[in-house]
Structure 1
Amino acid sequence: MIPSAVCYRCDRKYQDDRVRCDCGEPLWFDADSTGVDFSTRSEAQGLWRYAELLPVSGLEGIATAAGRTPLVRSRRLDRVAGCRVYVKDESENPTGSYKDRGSAVAVSRGLQRGTDVVGTVSYGNMAMSTAAHAASLGCECVVLVPTDIQPGRLELIAQYDPTILQVEGDYGDLYHEVLKLNRDLPVSFLPSDAPGRISGYKTALFEIYESLAPETPDAIALPASSGGFASGLWRGILDLQNAGLLETPPRLYLVQTAASDPITRAFDANRDEVSALSTEAVGETIAHSIGNPDPPSGTRALTAVRQTGGAVCSVTDDDIRDAQRQYAQRSGLCVEPASAAPLAGVARLGARGEIDDDETVVLVPTGTGFKEMGTGSESVQTETVTRSALSSRLESRLSG
């Protein structure tokens, strides 16, 4: 059966692969989860464990390696976060980020529906992921990036041999431009909240549920940019509730960079819709991947937070740097700046009394920090010693 694309807000259904409803809100695929029972399922590989809840007929290439990331109990982060911490390490995906979940489903669906070329708008993890998945399936890929993209990021994207177009002008407007191009050109552009991507993202929620069963986490905290990943986790929660497998949903906590935080502002102002920030209201940040001033699924993500009883907050670059250090030194994980934000955010929410110290919170680092090594401003402090002085110097350091 061909799945319907459904609007979460007005329930209107579409049989094509459009991204947005006529009401203006983004769509997702409607999957009948009635009767789903994960405990009786065979050990399928990766995302295909949830095959009946995905809008594809099969997965090939590196799509078969997406998902099944570890959920790690990180006791040494408890004191930092102020609660019981589990870490869902999405850096274990093929290209190092959660975007592989979305690309695995969206790119595969595009090919199964007869497209010859896929594309996306991104200068980071989604660009790398889309290009990699297309390459593994022998599909052409087009990536639209801004003119001021860092050379290092271009190199990471280019290794998969997509067509890369640096586009002049307001980069944020490209989201809406590619929706028009989808109608006019033989290219299937897969933006951040394409329905296929949302279906892939929800599998992270299923894995968290299975890993902790029979318990469920009190909350899940993740970085927020376009709102796509938050939408996927919410869709996963709804699927489990419809299946009768989840009685009380985990609270969703979204964390943004204070330099660009439209969802936080809408939450704090008790608004039901997210408004784009003006250019003057946006600052510089080290967390580039969540510095989105006009998130296309922002209102849906805000709705997910309200429906689950969660919250949205923002953290500074200094908070993010400290959280990165805590991740590395207390859990052994190297995470990108955006991925460190939830740890800082949960600590802030706990201090506000919104999270109790005995509650279980799953932090979701969405991408590896290894891609950004060598691009930071911090110098590494080292010391040179002679071989003859090595023993005495070590003794001095260890005793100090």
Structure 2
Amino acid sequence: MTERLTCYACGTTVATPAAPRCDCGEPRWYETDASGFDWPTDLDAGTWAAAELLPAHPPDAGIGTASGGTPLVRTPTLDEYVGAAVSVKDEGLNPTGSFKDRGTAVGIEVAREAGDDAVGTVSHGNMAMSTAAGATAAGLDCVVCVPADISDERLRNIARYDPRIVRVDGDYGQLYYDALEIGRERGVRFVNSDSPERVAGQKTTALEALVQHRDRAGDVPDALVLPVSSGGHASGAYKTLLELQAAGLLAPSEVPRLYLVQAAACAPIAEADERGLESVERVEKGETVAYSIANPAPPGGTRALHGARDTGGGVVAVDDEAILDAKRRLAGDAGLTVEASSATSVAGARKLVATGEISSDEAVVCVATGSGFKESVSAVDDVDAETVSLADLGDAL
């Protein structure tokens, strides 16, 4: 179990506890010794199936024990639509309906082992719900900082777990950084989007998907495609690929290409990739149905960009029409209800096949990061339903 943090950019290593960001400005992650690590065999342990690579001990009880262990669904009915062999990693089956529960589970245990009394997060969606749920189950106080203009619907979803909710009027992007600093001063551990604890837990999504694909097909997929917002989940996937190479479980030629997908209306990482930039720059935020990933200044964006490039992958942007079409096809063809932000992975994979980045004979894992059952159904197309009498049901069928 590691007690050191490393900066991927400059290589500086520090002992914990330490600030989540390096003096060079880039985020740190936990240093791990993967030598001797082998493919996990007990995926029923979920997030904790590879506990030796995590910075906390598995909990004995609570919803932290229930995170992870989500299915990798082979979806041949989507193959023609995407243009390749598609599997979907359904993260909507986590306790609060998103992959965030993996990072929360590890973050809560790190806080408990450190003797912290309170945790917090900056979020107006899945991460807020996940952190609040995990904290209350662990007996910790929780504060959730949300933007002042948050919708009532989202506020109600977060409030059901009874955290302290603070609406903050100001620059939401700056709130991420200020909360980390103020939290340290006030004794609140903020487990934000790309904090080391959260990235450590969220790296298990990719690890689990690779294990499941390998068990089913005999090898890992050629490409791993996932939505990207702050860059924390993408960083976790990249960290997993590095650790599997360090353990000798993947040769360089076997490493899946990591592709990240953003909504075209707010795509700072995709823009940086297209322009050949070495770091991600802030963009103007546009309106998009994929609001959960519309982050104009992703704190872990540069690390995510580096990870995609280092694996031979890249970053693409897809428009709302493509996102909604993919969302409909996931439900109508594969029976999977995902949030719009999650559907970007399928829309992105389709675009990558069309542009030749992914070949038609390759195996692709698309990560669906969250359930669609928490979203408003107002965006659903008009329902085609008929009414018949009971006596006429036989004829109708």
Question: Who is 2:363 aligned against?
Answer: 360
> Which aligned pairs between 1:273-312 and structure 2 lie closer than 5 A?
273-277=279-283, 281-312=284-315
- In the TM superposition, residue 43 of structure 1 has moved relative to its aligned partner by 6.8
Cα 1:317/1:251, change in 2 over 3 Å: same
Q: Supply the AA of the counterpart residue of 2:29.
A: W
User: Within 1, Cα distance between the matches of 2:80 and 2:376?
Assistant: 27
Per the alignment, residue 337 of structure 1 pairs with 340
Question: 2:27 matched to which residue of 1?
Answer: 26
Contact 2:262 2:293 in 1 (8 A): yes
Q: Distance in 2 between matches of 1:44 and 1:336?
A: 25
Q: Distance in 2 between matches of 1:43 and 1:306?
A: 29
Alignment match, 2:189: 188
Work out whether 1:327 is the aligned partner of 2:330.
yes
Q: TM-score, normalised by structure 2?
A: 0.95
SS where residue 355 of structure 1 aligns?
coil
Q: Which moved more, 1:211-220 or 1:304-313?
A: 211-220
* Cα-to-partner distance string for 1:357-376 (whole Å, 9 max, x where unaligned): 00000000000000014343
Contact 1:17–1:195 (CA under 8 A) maintained in structure 2: no
Matched, 1:243 2:247: yes
1:225 aligns with 2:229: yes
Q: What TM-score results when the alignment is normalised by the length of structure 1?
A: 0.94
Report the counterpart of residue 164 of structure 1 in structure 2.
Answer: 165
Superposed displacement of residue 57, structure 1: 2.2
Secondary structure of the corresponding residue to residue 153 of structure 2: helix
Report the Cα offset of residue 114 of structure 1: 1.2
| Residue equivalent to 1:37 | 38
Equivalent residue for 2:107? 106
2:67 alignment counterpart: 66
Look up the match of 2:383.
380
Judge conservation of contact 2:2–2:54 (CA < 8 Å) in 1: no
Identity of aligned residues (%): 49
Once the two structures are TM-superposed, the CA of residue 198 in structure 1 deviates from its matched residue by: 0.8
**1:201 counterpart = 2:205:** no
Measure the CA separation in 2 of the matches of 1:265 and 1:49.
Answer: 36
Query: Aligned partners of 1:37, 1:347: CA distance in 2, in Å?
Result: 33
The equivalent of 1:51 in structure 2 is 51
Give the Cα separation in 2 of the matches to 1:385 and 1:42.
Answer: 50
What is the aligned counterpart of 2:259 among 247, 253, 258? 253
Map 1:114-133 → 2, pairs under 5 A: 114-133=115-134
Aligned residue in 1 for 2:220? 216
Q: Is the 8 A contact 1:120 1:130 kept in 2?
A: yes
Alignment: residue pair count = 390
Counterpart secondary structure, 2:377? coil
Aligned ranges for residues 142-157 of structure 1 at < 5 Å? 142-157=143-158
1:88 aligned counterpart, secondary structure: strand
Post-superposition CA distance 1:58-103 (Å, at most 9, x none):
3241111111111111101101111000111111111110000100
Higher alpha-carbon deviation: 309-318 or 374-383: 374-383
Q: What is the aligned-residue RMSD (CA, Å)?
A: 1.5
- Aligned mates of 1:241, 1:370 — CA distance in 2: 37
In structure 2, relative to structure 1, the CA distance for the partners of 1:341 and 1:94 (3 Å cut) is same
Amino acid in structure 2 at the alignment position of 1:62: I
Please list the CA deviations of residues 37-70 of structure 1 after superposition, one character each: whole Å capped at 9, or x if unmatched. 236x667622222111100023241111111111
Aligned match of 1:314 in 305, 312, 317?
Answer: 317
Query: Is 2:229–2:294's contact at 8 Å kept on the other side of the alignment?
Result: yes
Can you list the C-alpha shifts for 1:216-273, whole angstroms capped at 9, x where unaligned?
A: 1100000010010000000011111000001121001111001100001000001111
The residue aligned with 1:350 is 353
One-letter identity of the residue aligned with 1:169: G
Q: Give the 3 Å change call, closer, same or farther, for CA 42–270 of structure 1 in structure 2.
A: closer
5+ residue gaps, structure 1 = 396-400
Q: What is the distance in 1 between the residues matched to 2:329 and 2:377?
A: 19
Q: Distance in 1 between matches of 2:210 and 2:267?
A: 29
**Residues 258 and 312 in structure 2, CA contact (< 8 A), matched pair in contact too:** yes
Between 144-153 and 359-368, the greater mean CA deviation after superposition: 144-153
Inter-CA distance 117–373: structure 2 relative to 1 (3 Å threshold): same
| SS of structure 2 residue aligned to 1:126 | helix
